[in-house]
Amino acid sequence: MMAANGWYIYNGLEAVPPGVTRVRIDESLTVIPALAFEGNCNIEELECHDLVKTVERSAFYNCPSLRLVIMPGVEVVEDCAFGDCKALTVVECDKLERIGGGAFSWCKSLTSINLPSAKIVEYIAFCDCHALTNIKFGDKLESIIRGGIP
C-alpha cells in the first residue's frame, strides 16, 4: 500500500511493487520475514516502528541501493540480514542486542555505527566492511565472536 507521502507500507502479505524506493513497516508486523526484500535493487530507505523486534535472515540481502535503515525497536538482526547492501551508510538501531553472523557483511559504504545496546556480535558480522572505521558499543556488550569485527 502506498502512503500519500511517497512511502510504501509493507504488510508482509505482498511483494514490494517495482520502483518503490522508500519502505515503512506496517504497525501490524513485529518481525521482518526472512528473504522479504532480498535482491530488491530499488529500495533506498527503510523505516521501522518501535514494535519491530527482529529482522530475520537475509531479509535485505543484496539490496544494492539501500542506504538508510531506521529501526528503533529492533533487538535482533539475524544472519546476513543486511549482507551485501553496498550503499548502506546510515543504520540507526538503539535497541539492537544480537547481531547475527554476516548481518552487515559486504556493506562497503558503512563507515560508522552506534550499537549502545549490543550484547552479542556473531561471527563475520561486519566482514569486508572496509570503510567501517567507527563502531561504538555500550556497557552491555558480552561477547564478540571471533571475526565479528573487521
* Residue 64's CATH number: 3.80.10.10
Q: Per-residue pLDDT for 11 more than 80?
A: yes
Average pLDDT value for residue range 57-70: 98
pLDDT for residue 149: 58
108: Cα separation from own chain's centroid: 14
pLDDT digits (tens, 9 = 90+) for 107-143: 999 999 999 999 999 999 999 999 999 999 999 999 9
Number of domains in the chain: 1
pLDDT for residue 3: 63
Q: What is the DSSP string of 45-100?
A: EEE--TT--EE-TTTTTT-TT--EEE-TT--EE-TTTTTT-TT--EEE-TT--EE-
From CA 139, how far away is CA 113, in angstroms rounded? 15
Provide the 8-state DSSP code for 121: E
pLDDT for residue 4: 59
- Rounded to two decimals, what is the model's pTM? 0.93
Q: Which residues constitute the domain of residue 35?
A: 1-150
Percent of the chain with pLDDT over 90: 89
